[in-house]
Structure 1
Amino acid sequence: MEDDDENESQKTPAESSDQQDDGHEEEAEDVLDAATRLKRKFQHVKKFVFTRRSGKPCRIILSYNPSMAKLLLLPLIEKAVHTSTIQVIPGVGQCQLFMEEVRDADGKVLKQINAENGKEEDVKEPVITTEGVNLPVMRAYQDVIQPHSLYTNSVHDMLTYYGVEAARNTIIKEISTVFAGHGIAVDNRHINLIADAMTQSGMYKPFSRHGVVKESGSALAKMSFETVMGFLREAVLHGESDPLLGPSARIVAGRRGNIGTGSFDVVVGV
């Protein structure tokens, strides 16, 4: 090993120059091959100049017959620009930019005075909506976007990067948005209860027969949700019993629910 190091250190300037020349020759051959392939693919390309080592833009010379119809390059350039990827964030598709009203903690729209006409107007800020999500990469663009205002309707991503409380709030917000879009008024306490049930384990579970409902200890409560025969079959095979403590199970059995006025008994002293 020491002999090899000594041989490397004892190389003459002529040998180093020969290696550099070999590198230049290989690069020249690569550029020549690229130029040949380009000319074969496009008949109007007459010359292609590019130096990979310098990193300068390439130069392409096109030659057309004067008798050919006039060619407008602007539409072709615009088409190429729309189909060329300059920078991309993996997982993020189309983006839309619009102006959104700025609200305070109480949900009221902030106002400001227009300096030009002196009229009061809403305070707005630019907002970008995207198809897809990639929160870790988007945090790298803090010079363009506000990292503390990032939001996604992906409960999984909110749970992974911001915690279970953020995932719970996302569930509440998305459910409320769906009901509001259909003009349905639902008390927030009901939605909060659903979100709590979905995230009580520190993760989030679907609010369906495969998630929250399946973990219920009441066979009748599970059957009252959906797929009656499936839950009934499992209850029979496993010998399950129901203490009739939940409101759903008590309604199935024709008993008064132990909630509200039915949650206590009036005891009269003897």
Structure 2
Amino acid sequence: MEQSEVEETAKMLEQEYEQLLQDREDLRTKIIQSTQNSVNMPINVQRLIWNARQQFQVKIHSKTDLTPKYIIDRVKDLFETKLNVYPENRLRSSSLFTQANLDATKLMKIYLRHLLATKHLIQNRETRLTKESFEWLLGEIGNRFESSLVHPGEMVGCIGAQSIGEPATQMTLNTFHSAGVGTKNVTLGVPRLKEIINVATTLKTPSLRIFLKDEFLESKTEVMNVGNEIEYTTLSQIIANSAIYYDPDPTTTIIEADRMLVENDAEEQRELGNEAKLEMLSPWLIRFEIDANKMRGKGLSLEKIENKLLDKLGDEDGSINIIRNLDAELREKMVFRIRIQGLEGEGDMATTPMRLREAESAILNELPLKGIKQITKYSWAQLITSQEDDIIVDKQTGKITGRSKHYIIETDGVELKGVMCHQKVNHKTIISNSVREILTVLGVEAARNSLLRELRFVLGAYNIYVNYRHLSTLCDIMTNKGTLTAITRHGINRIDSGALRKCSFEETVEILLESSMHGEVDPLSGVTENIIMGQLAPYGTGSFDIMIDAKALNANQQEMLRNQ
């Protein structure tokens, strides 16, 4: 080789090496932003290389007539001529098509540049090829790539339905899965898939996954505080017991354990000159014993509970009397004694206990002490994630060396808008498994992404792979009207189409009867109705008509006559 050829080859090899480094960086940071081990590709190039070696009898010790320049030029030519998802005339007509083509084929080109690198095809004994076998390999790659493209008229709906439906038969009928927290279960399997497809209003296990802002992500204390603030808490969740007593003397009590508390309160009222108020108090008493450990675990205090009780019962006229322990008193059980005027009735002692029981039940179960009503329970855990930002990666080797110690909150119940408004919650990363709620709060595009994420999660729990394009086709059908359309007779079967198409789904007799009563006309424009009628359906080659250009035909005839 001449010196100029050597320098040119060295330059091409250097560029190839730089391109491979760039490809690796793009894969790690832009294309595959997760810890998944593999990505499904439409062509098994490694198998094709093995076939090429077998067919052309390339042995381990065989010599090669390939050169680096030849390999790089031919691979570049393959990319320009064969690896296009759009026809050449469209690529030349618009830069938008050119950019879309580059985006669509980027991962495939990275895959091919890796396996068709000069070092693999010349030095590696396991993948070494000759010129003849290399040319056959390039032809096979081009043909298989072209055959893997979706062509006009292809039945993508049927293919997508089969791709989702067949592996779904392997899913169990009733499964619950622990979502990173021992006490937190989520519905999986067929029940969850049915909820997603039917756009169910009531979910079996509605849940939120809440991420705090960056400055609070690694603080377990902050996570627990936020969880306590959003968890809905009523008095019934923190009391040890409750009872109703007839205790007519407000200055003392028949309950020995409360005697000192009542007498001290009576003495304080006398000092304030409220003796008349004591005499007017109801003889009936509702008494609560609050579990101090539960109360503190919920982040509550006796003062907060008393204020909530006064707000609930309404003490504008002084008809409510509440006696309680002080917050500073360290006891296992804290006492609340409540007397409410007007509940004992006028001379009818028989109905008084019933009214007191109703009042007691309302105080216990309907008095919100804190939190969001829909969030019935929360649990926290260290983050188990596949997000690139939360993984520590060695840039030289690409290996995961650790994970950030982030904490998340999992809830029972969903209330996306209320939780997003919390000051310490990162509203950009919160996740809800209720697609309907996401549609209401964030819009149809967010609902579509949620549908796709939930479908992938359910299928991935059983190691089922379904190509993104099949799932996205389903999600597009469900959201292309600007709202959520369920794949049921109440959803997709209510779209504006002919009677024959509708009756092929469900409610066959009812739809045909209603259509005949109203004299509906079916234009037979779809696939299903033409199959029913035994006609050529608009799919495959039936999707197109051959049109004659009369002007071009006349011009051609005149040209032929002149040539004669």
**2:391 aligns with one of 102, 110, 118:** 110
* Change over 3 Å in CA distance of 1:88–1:38 after alignment to 2: farther
Bigger CA radius of gyration: 2
* 1:123 Cα offset (Å): 3.4
8 Å CA contact 1:102, 1:125 repeated in 2: no
**2:385 aligns with one of 92, 101, 104:** 101
8 Å CA contact 1:102, 1:124 repeated in 2: no
**1:250 aligns with one of 499, 516, 530:** 530
Q: Which residue of 1 is the match for residue 260 of structure 2?
A: 47
SS at match of 1:127: strand
SS at match of 1:234: helix
Separation (CA, whole Å) in 2 of partners of 1:203 and 1:263:
29
* Change over 3 Å in CA distance of 1:43–1:182 after alignment to 2: same
Separation (CA, whole Å) in 1 of partners of 2:250 and 2:502:
71
Separation (CA, whole Å) in 2 of partners of 1:218 and 1:262:
19
* Change over 3 Å in CA distance of 1:134–1:36 after alignment to 2: farther
SS at match of 1:46: helix
1:99-119 deviation per Cα after TM superposition (whole angstroms, max 9, x unaligned): 2225138xxx72258xxxxx9
8 Å CA contact 2:252, 2:259 repeated in 1: no
Instruction: Tell me, yes or no, if structure 1 residue 87 matches structure 2 residue 370.
Output: yes
* Change over 3 Å in CA distance of 1:160–1:267 after alignment to 2: closer
Separation (CA, whole Å) in 2 of partners of 1:87 and 1:196:
40
- Runs of at least 5 residues in structure 1 that lack an aligned partner in the other structure: 1-32, 61-72, 78-82, 114-118
SS at match of 1:231: helix
* Change over 3 Å in CA distance of 1:132–1:232 after alignment to 2: same
* 1:242 Cα offset (Å): 2.0
Separation (CA, whole Å) in 2 of partners of 1:35 and 1:166:
63
**1:141 aligns with one of 403, 422, 434:** 422
* Change over 3 Å in CA distance of 1:176–1:225 after alignment to 2: farther
1:217-268 deviation per Cα after TM superposition (whole angstroms, max 9, x unaligned): 1212111212211222222112222222212222222334322333224679
**2:411 aligns with one of 108, 112, 130:** 130
Separation (CA, whole Å) in 2 of partners of 1:102 and 1:267:
53
Deviates more, 1:249-258 or 1:177-186: 177-186
Percent identity, aligned pairs only, is 28
1:182-233 deviation per Cα after TM superposition (whole angstroms, max 9, x unaligned): 5544333333233223323322232211122211312121112122112222
SS at match of 1:100: coil
1:148-201 deviation per Cα after TM superposition (whole angstroms, max 9, x unaligned): 111212222212221121112122222333333455443333332332233233
Instruction: Tell me, yes or no, if structure 1 residue 263 matches structure 2 residue 549.
Output: no
* Change over 3 Å in CA distance of 1:93–1:46 after alignment to 2: same
Separation (CA, whole Å) in 2 of partners of 1:265 and 1:184:
40
Query: If each structure's helix is expressed as a fraction of its own residues, which one has the higher value?
Result: 2
TM-score between both structures, scaled by the size of structure 1: 0.62
1:10-68 deviation per Cα after TM superposition (whole angstroms, max 9, x unaligned): xxxxxxxxxxxxxxxxxxxxxxx99949945x44212225689xx699437xxxxxxxx
Q: Which residue of 1 is the match for residue 274 of structure 2?
A: none
* 1:91 Cα offset (Å): 0.9
**2:459 aligns with one of 175, 179, 194:** 179
* Change over 3 Å in CA distance of 1:138–1:88 after alignment to 2: same
**1:189 aligns with one of 456, 459, 469:** 469
Q: Which residue of 1 is the match for residue 437 of structure 2?
A: 157
Separation (CA, whole Å) in 2 of partners of 1:161 and 1:34:
54
Q: Which residue of 2 is the match for residue 24 of structure 1?
A: none
Whichever residue aligns with residue 455 of structure 2, its letter is I
Separation (CA, whole Å) in 1 of partners of 2:248 and 2:485:
55
TM-score between both structures, scaled by the size of structure 2: 0.32
Q: How does 1:209-248 map to 2 (within 5 A)?
A: 209-248=489-528
Whichever residue aligns with residue 120 of structure 1, its letter is T
1:53-86 deviation per Cα after TM superposition (whole angstroms, max 9, x unaligned): xx699437xxxxxxxxxxxx75x68xxxxx9986
8 Å CA contact 1:112, 1:123 repeated in 2: no
CA RMSD of aligned residues (A): 3.9
- Runs of at least 5 residues in structure 2 that lack an aligned partner in the other structure: 1-246, 270-302, 307-323, 335-364, 395-399, 554-564
| Structure ranking higher on relative contact order (CA contacts 8 Å, 6+ apart) | 2
Separation (CA, whole Å) in 1 of partners of 2:412 and 2:402:
31
Whichever residue aligns with residue 45 of structure 1, its letter is D
Q: Which residue of 1 is the match for residue 325 of structure 2?
A: 59
